Structure 1
């Protein structure tokens, strides 16, 4: 129960912080859409903390531009989706996931819902910013 509470709190805080914060450090770097975002582990972050899911596993995704797919871990379940990407636009469709019963499904569904709403991306340093129009929805970091 304690892990569930910690995960739920962390994931909720991640969504709120990423959606509402501005990062003044990114003003120094020019956002790019011409760099490869493929075949890297991208970890969901809030400020500099990686969001952890069930069993302390990182919420993450891996983009495969060659196959136009994305896969990852959404906090409790693994997921797969189709990818459409071109000149700074990106979208994720036909998201499917495993169906493990977890106490934190609301947070996971919120994450997947945000992913479905993404229509634009930027790469800033080692961060992948996913937007709905001009609203930052999710920030991922790679190592």
Structure 2
């Protein structure tokens, strides 16, 4: 009778051994994955920190800002800690709420003062584009804002 229970015990022992080993490998793989994603999180944090500046519009939808706003170029400032954005739209001051998550950016609730000026149509287009943004990238002194994979706004860090 003892010989009949031994094979069953051995089978159960090997099953536990195999299952336990595979769980250990899975845990190690998950730890390795977490370690490899740290640089991405750090990069996103660095981009968020780099946003904390005054940015001057250089291009809007592929057009040079000098052609669209010959007198006063729009600017934008990000307050990442407070999740806010503010700036000058070419004629009027504006502000809104900011959401960041990695390279994802969303600007909502944009409101502006109502002063009249010659570039009012361009200003309204600029403010509308801001609310379409879904991705951003900071490279050196250049900020690129994208929507649906299309580059819409390019800013340069103001000096």
Q: Shared fold by TM > 0.5?
A: yes
Alpha-carbon contact 2:52-2:79 (below 8 Å) kept:
yes
Mapping for residues 1-143 of structure 1, pairs under 5 Å = 33=44, 34-35=46-47, 36-46=49-59, 51=66, 53=69, 56-142=71-157, 143=159
Distance 1:71 1:57, change over 3 A: same
Which contiguous aligned blocks of 4+ residues in structure 1 show a shift greater than 2 angstroms?
32-35, 49-54
Give the Cα–Cα distance (whole angstroms) in 2 for the partners of residues 85 and 61 of structure 1: 15
SS state of the match for residue 118, structure 2?
coil
Normalised by the length of structure 1, the TM-score is: 0.69
- Distance in 1, Cα, partners of 2:104 & 2:78: 14
Select the structure with the greater relative contact order (CA < 8 A; seq sep ≥ 6). Answer: 1
Instruction: Give ranges in structure 1 of 5+ residues lacking alignment.
Output: 1-31
TM-score (norm 2): 0.62
> How far off its partner does 1:118 sit?
0.2
Q: CA deviation at 1:66?
A: 0.7
- Give the greater-gyration-radius structure (CA): 2
